[in-house]
Amino acid sequence: MRDDQRSAAEKFRRLRLCCSHSSCNYTALTKGGTMGASLAHIRKEFPALRDKTFFDSAGVGIAPRSAVGAIREFLDQTMVAPVRSMVDHHLAIDAAREKARPEAARLIGASEDEIAIIESTTHGLSIAARALPLEPGDNIVTTDLEFIAVPLAWRQPNSGICPQIRVAKNKDGELPLSSFEEVIDGRTKAVVISSVQWSNGYFCDLEGISKLCSQSGVLLIVDAIQQLGAFPLDVSKVPVDIVVCGGHKWLNAPFGAGFMYIRKGISDKLRRPVAGYLSLEAPLGGWGTYFETPSITPLQPVEFSHKARDYENGGTANYPGGIGLAASLHMINELGKAVIEEQIRTVTNYLLEGLETLRMNVVTPRPPVNRSGIIAMGFPGSPHKDIELKEHLLDRKILVAVRYTSNVGGVRVSCHFYNNKSDVDRLLNAVEDYLARNSELALASPQ
């Protein structure tokens, strides 16, 4: 074997073993030292932080070295295939992608059998919409603060997915339980909501909504992309029927991969929307041996796995995305959900104090129980000024966004675990500079 082949083979062996190794020992970072020191070190995993102040995880997160390295290693192997056969090659990359499943289960307190690896939140919502049997007159409940993809999955008349959509309306940017009680009725099949709202960061009372759905005999389907990776969700304590989460925001994963949780016990209420042979129980000896058997036919009896992976496409998957997702989830899990939440609360509290000092209007609800990593601020009635402030910040390499829905939103600042008080100080100084250049806004801002 040539040296380059030996090198490639060794890389491939490591890829098979874990694909979640990295330049950073996350467990060691969170033990035997202060949280601040640990998270200061973890910033080195994100080269994007060298030359910019990043506050846009709610839009697109930044990938760590470990995830990019895992994908690069996988791609290197696709060039040289340093194994005995392509069956071995397929088994190895399957094992590497499969690492995402236990990591996702660990993140939300689920079992591996309840996790499907998907492409995105939109993909997961579409799977849920196609899986839920609906009859004429049935309805689903959502809210007027959702991202467009949440209700869109249910608005497809040509596919037979077109229930009545009932809307729980926000009250000053919040969604109290009463808003849901007003619209759930005997024909409601599911409540479909985001646990954290994308425009103002409102963190809903998921436990209360879960109890309401259970009492009403209604499925609860949750878009958790603005929560997971920043704030914990334990499905063993807060019953949810389906959770969908893309990886490219707070999970810091590369594009095109996420996961879906489907609670055990609801499969009898769902229909399988897709069918692929990799969703079947593998035959004795594996698929490689099966395909070498002369007597097989394409129409012989098959058995699905009866696990969440039945809802994956069942064919060739997004291997680079799944492998990167596994590495990013591993990083989040090893850092620890409590450590991450504490850091985000520290940074957002510091930001809110600074905005109060500047007399900036804060759109995000103030009760801590309803706050997430998203803080929205702005100038009520002057959305053009929100955009102006955003551009002022972007010019200074401070990455934020402006987002609105149902007239709720403003300049959105997304604080993640790698942000610190120095980042916030740069943001506040830039906001203060903008206000100084627009003195009429400073005078108009509420205290």
Q: What domains, with CATH codes, occur in the chain?
A: 95-332 (3.40.640.10), 337-442 (3.90.1150.10)
- CA–CA distance, 390 with 148 (Å, rounded to integer): 22
Apex 265 CA angle, 264 and 266, nearest 5: 100
Local structure of residue 428 (DSSP, 8 states): H
Instruction: For the full predicted model, state whether its pTM sits above 0.85.
Output: yes
Q: Taking residues 93-98, what's their average pLDDT?
A: 91
- CA–CA distance, 238 with 224 (Å, rounded to integer): 13
Q: Burial of 382 by CB count in 10 Å (0-12 exposed, 13-18 middle, 19+ buried)?
A: middle
The share of the chain scoring above pLDDT 90, in percent, equals: 73
Q: Taking residues 241-245, what's their average pLDDT?
A: 98
**Which helix (DSSP H) or strand (DSSP E) does residue 209 occupy?**
helix 206-216
Q: Which of 282, 299, 260, 305 has its CA nearest to residue 90?
A: 282
- Residues 400-425 pLDDT 10s: 999 999 999 999 999 999 999 999 99
Examine the pLDDT at 39 and tell me if it is beyond 60.
yes
- Average pLDDT in the chain: 89
Residue 14's pLDDT band (cuts 50, 70, 90) = low
- Residues 310-350 pLDDT 10s: 999 888 899 999 999 999 999 999 999 999 999 999 999 99
> What pLDDT was estimated at residue 243?
99
Examine the pLDDT at 151 and tell me if it is beyond 70.
yes
Local structure of residue 182 (DSSP, 8 states): T
Examine the pLDDT at 12 and tell me if it is beyond 50.
no
- The alpha-carbon radius of gyration of the chain (Å, integer) is 23
- CA–CA distance, 208 with 196 (Å, rounded to integer): 14
> What pLDDT was estimated at residue 447?
42
Examine the pLDDT at 444 and tell me if it is beyond 70.
no
Q: Which range among 84-88, 216-220, 300-304, 380-384 shows the weakest confidence by mean pLDDT? A: 84-88
> What pLDDT was estimated at residue 162?
80
Name residue 161's beta-bridge partners.
Answer: 156
Neighbours of 183 (CB within 10 A): 17
Pairing of strands 361-362, 374-378: antiparallel
List of residues 6+ apart from 185 with CB closer than 8 A:
139, 166
Q: Taking residues 183-203, what's their average pLDDT?
A: 98
Examine the pLDDT at 298 and tell me if it is beyond 60.
yes
- CA–CA distance, 302 with 277 (Å, rounded to integer): 9
